[in-house]
Amino acid sequence: MSAVAVFAGTSRQESLDVGEFKVSEVIFPPNRRLPWHSHPRGCVGVVVDGAVDKRFARFQADARAGALITMPPEEPHEDRFGRDGAAIVVVESQVQEDKSLACRTLRPRSWQCVSAASSPDRIPSLRSRSRDLRLS
């Protein structure tokens, strides 16, 4: 299995380099399935719209709007996007050795998929601002 960019399989993506980080908005079409893969850089993502079923070797989680997803470099996983697709804002390290502050919190071979809220209605500012998160 080879590592692929975070925008692989998207219908649209926009990115902005910010110091040692790359901030991307990635849009996945409805019902898209990305078979087992990994990403070369550690990343943190927030699902701002839609849903994705994240499958890892030992865990599976349904990440809906408001969910925070963190992954270390090279973590194998599979993605299955819901009937509405998904919009995700991803921050990834651009440091070759992934020694940036965000990636130091991601221990090798560990990961977590945490729901920030059980419903997007519990975080109305995120839901109402999701359209404002478009990068330009």
Full pLDDT tens readout for the chain, 136 residues:
677 777 788 888 899 998 889 999 999 999 999 999 988 888 899 999 999 999 988 888 899 999 999 888 888 999 999 999 999 999 998 876 544 444 444 343 334 444 333 344 443 344 444 444 444 4
Task: Tell me what pLDDT residue 72 has.
Answer: 84
Please enumerate in sequence order all residues whose Cβ is within 8 A of that of 29, keeping only pairs 6 or more positions apart, or say none. Answer: 11, 81, 85
Q: Is the pTM of this model over 0.75?
A: no
| pLDDT for 59 | 85
39-53 CB burial, b ≥16 within 10 A, e <16: bbbbbbbbbbbbbbe
First to last CA, the chain: 33
Q: Is 81 exposed, middle or buried (0-12, 13-18, 19+ CB in 10 A)?
A: buried
Q: Is there a contact between 43 and 91 (Cβ–Cβ < 8 Å)?
A: yes
Q: What pLDDT, on a 0 to 100 scale, did the predictor assign at position 96?
A: 61
**Domain boundary assignment for the chain:** 12-118
Q: Which CATH architecture best describes the domain 12-118?
A: Sandwich (2.60)
What local confidence, expressed as pLDDT, does residue 112 receive?
Answer: 42
Task: Enter the tokens of residue 19.
Answer: 């110091």
**Could you tell me how many residues make up the chain?**
136
pLDDT at res. 29? 96
State how far the Cα of 107 lies from the Cα of 73, in Å rounded to an integer: 10
